[in-house]
Amino acid sequence: MNHPSLFTPVQLGGHTLKNRIAFPPLTRQRSAQPGDVASDLMAEYYRQRASAGFMVTEGTQIEPRGQGYAWTPGIYSDAQIEGWRKVTDAVHGDGGVIFAQLWHVGRVSHHALQPDGAAPIAPSAIAATNAKAFIETSAGAGELVVPSLPRALGVAEIKALVRFYADAARNAIAAGFDGVEIHAANGYLVNQFISEHANQRDDEYGGSLENRLRFLSEIVQAVSQAIGADRLGVRFAPLFTTTDQDRVYIGMVESDPHDTYIEAVKVLERAGVAYVSIAEADWDNAPDLPESFRRDVRRTFSGRIMYAGRYTAERGARLVDAGLADLIAFGRPFIANPDLPARIVNGWPLNPVNPATLYGGAEAGFTDYPAYAG
């Protein structure tokens, strides 16, 4: 057996996971239209990858204003709940455990994606100048655009958004998911509140780090009360920046990312959530997270810890062996290799990913990657 530490069972909330290989949230933009509904094609895509010990869906918006990219799925309508039910039934039928990632892009959107063409919402009226939204053109194609200038949220609106997260978590359980992950990374709404760069508020949601973490804390509490903390995980990206073809997403790196995110992890520890997921920088030659940060996450958090970011099986196994990680997520390798755990354990070669088919489209580059045939 290759990399045996990746194939030991591990407990996550109420589930015993069959291995420590995770399928992470990956935006693929293939929901059925109209309505941004998870499709039969998506059900097959996730089913093919159910040999992962743990799966998290692509980001699924918690309300219409949460969308920043055309054709991404939602989880706020009855039709969307029913669409996701097909996915969870398919995954559970093949023995998988799957959480839904709850997503709101905040300012990383465009008025063309917003209800009634309104401005996107954010903690402060500061544009996401280094990000891109993705809109559908009149010809039915897609186009990358600079996000629109957002408007700042009022306090009552922030409280309503917390309720939207709890409602979305209930919807996820109704759709058959085993739990949910809060997307608090990559420059999106929760990350915008945490960030000293995007959050310039002078009320209880801005200023001090404690205040900037308040939105996260209230969401975690509300979702925990709605579905149970043992069904909840949260994703952070302390040093996240990535360039992918023509798409540029830049997460917001704080002046003291170590203290910022250790304090954020403390929020999760106090709530007793099931896991924290750390998305690492994933461009070529990106620096590793400091070892001191990994050690402090382990010392701070008693739940499960998952890392993602261009991991090889060897590197991931070393992190598990060192006691610093419980789960290792593989993104692009899992896109191109639906049978990735079998390939890892047997040392079989990997299919290469086709970058041209990552976003949008149909079966090509989605459900047609072959399993290993020998």
Region for residue 291 given its phi and psi (left: phi exceeds 0; alpha: psi -120 to 50; beta: otherwise): alpha
Which of these, 287, 327, 295, 329, lies nearest to 309 by C-alpha position?
Answer: 329
The 3 state secondary structure assigned to the chain is: CCCHHHHCCEEECCEEECCCEEECCCCCCCCECCCCECCHHHHHHHHHCCCCCEEEEEEEECCHHHCCECCCCECCCHHHHHHHHHHHHHHHHCCCCEEEEEECCCCCCCHHHCHHHCCCEECCCCCCCCCCEEEECCCCCEEEECCCCCEECCHHHHHHHHHHHHHHHHHHHHCCCCEEEEECCCCCHHHHHHCCCCCCCCCCCCCCHHHHCHHHHHHHHHHHHHHCHHHEEEEECCCCEEEECCEEEECCCCCCHHHHHHHHHHHHHHHCCCEEEEECCCCCCCCCCCHHHHHHHHHHCCCEEEEECCCCHHHHHHHHHCCCCCEEECCHHHHHCCCHHHHHHHCCCCCCCCHHHCCCCCCCCCCCCCCCCC
The rounded distance, in Å, linking the Cα atoms of 141 and 32 is: 15
Tell me, yes or no, if 45 is annotated catalytic.
Answer: no
Catalytic residue, candidates 45, 69, 76, 188? 188
Q: Which residues are catalytic?
A: 188
